[in-house]
Amino acid sequence: MRIAAFGDIHGNVFALQAVLADLRAHRPDGLVVTGDLVYKFPWGAEVVDLLRDLPGQVILGNSEVYLALWGTALWPAHWDMPLAQQVVAWERERLGSRRVAWLGSLPEHVAFSGGRLEDLVVVHGVPGNPFLPFLARPAEDRSPWVQTDQRASELLGGLDADVVVCGHTHTTLVRQVPRRVGDGSVRIINPGALSYGRGANAGAGRADYVLLDWSAPTGWQISLHTVRYDPEPLYRALLALRGDYPLAAFIANRARPPGVAPIPEEKPDFQRYRWGDTPPWWDARDDLASWRALRGEEMP
């Protein structure tokens, strides 16, 4: 069994097409998208339509939550930042109600069974929370992008898996974390992003994914892959949307080809929140009728 996993597409349909083309040579048995299909790059509708037509599974990221909560009583007041609201409103209008409803209904995780039941789990952030990240160990990255083994184990909770695949941070992560309950450790894998990378994953025209192979003698084997694609068409398409899409200049600067000078941009007011901005009601979400209604679920 071979599983391909990638995420943090954020509407970058150019990178998604490049990765799907690369995967045709590997012919995985399964495909999982780790969330954040939309929001930031302006082609969320195209990304959703591509992925809905593929055999595979897609999970809920924090970006999908932003779009689902917009205009509801669950939208936290401290998210009321002008540019962030413009981007969400623009995205929702272009996606349309059916795509937004589908995004809001996505599962929070998926699991696969190799040697035992659900020994591979895929999430967006951490189990039970798409807003929180798994990070590197201290000294493996600079503060505040680090996390002790104790904190990472706490975020795993009681999850009984051998491998956890995540996204959210746009940077590759491979680390072993002691189990919080029982003996042994859990491998945490973040392949990077399809939108734009951070740290060693930064660079225009780069998209990252992971292949996970199961074989009985060795368990889950992991191979990280990087796809290179021409950033010029993406950059030109973003420039053409200036004056329409609120983040066009900001994203164009992060996707510009080597040697191209930056253009004037408006700094996003939501950048300061980064990771971890969980709504205050999140832990009680399954008991909230309004949340379950957004998800298309009935109260028990």
- Which tens digits make up the pLDDT trace of 26-73? 999 999 999 999 999 999 999 999 999 899 999 999 999 999 999 999
- Cross-strand pairs, 61: none
Q: What is the pLDDT of residues 158-206, one digit of tens each?
A: 898 999 999 999 999 999 999 887 788 999 999 999 999 999 999 999 9
Burial class (CB in 10 A: 0-12, 13-18, 19+), 272: exposed
For residue 255, what pLDDT is reported? 95
Q: CA-CA distance, 125 to 167, in Å (whole number)?
A: 6
Q: What share of the chain is helix, strand, coil (3-state, %, to 5)?
A: 35, 20, 50
Q: What pLDDT score was predicted for residue 273?
A: 47
Whole-number Å distance between alpha carbons of 30 and 43? 24
Q: Domain holding 113: CATH number?
A: 3.60.21.10
Whether residue 243 lies inside any domain: the answer is no
Residue 274: the pLDDT is 53
The strand pairing partners of 224, in sequence order, are 210
Q: What's the DSSP call for residue 271?
A: G
Cis, peptide link before residue 144, omega less than 30° from 0: yes
Report CA-CA distances (Å) from 197 to 181, 203, 206: 33, 7, 8
Q: Is residue 252 part of a domain?
A: no
Beta pairing partners, 143: none
In the chain, the number of structural domains is 1
**For tokens 């939550």, what's the residue?**
65
pLDDT exceeding 90 applies to what percent of the chain? 83
Spatial separation of the C-alpha atoms in residues 264 and 131, rounded to whole Å? 30
Does 113 map to a domain?
yes
Residue 282, token pair as written in the block: 């999140």
The reply to whether 237 falls in a domain is: no
Q: Is residue 30 part of a domain?
A: yes
Do the beta carbons of residue 218 and residue 164 sit within 8 Å? no
Predicted model pTM:
0.96
Residue 261 lies in a domain: no
pLDDT tens track for 232-283:
999 999 999 999 999 999 999 999 999 999 999 987 766 554 556 899 999 9
Per-residue confidence (pLDDT) for residue 83, from 0 to 100: 86
Domain range for residue 100? Answer: 2-230+267-294
Task: From residue 121, give the alpha-carbon distance in Å to each of 165, 186, 188.
Answer: 6, 11, 10
| Residues whose CB is less than 8 angstroms from the CB of residue 276 and which lie 6 or more positions away in sequence, other chains included | 131, 132, 133
DSSP state of 262: P
Inside any domain, residue 241: no
Q: How far is CA 40 from CA 6, 167, 218, in A?
A: 17, 16, 39
Structural domain contains residue 262: no
pLDDT of residue 267: 78
Cα–Cα distance, 180 to 128 (Å, whole number): 16
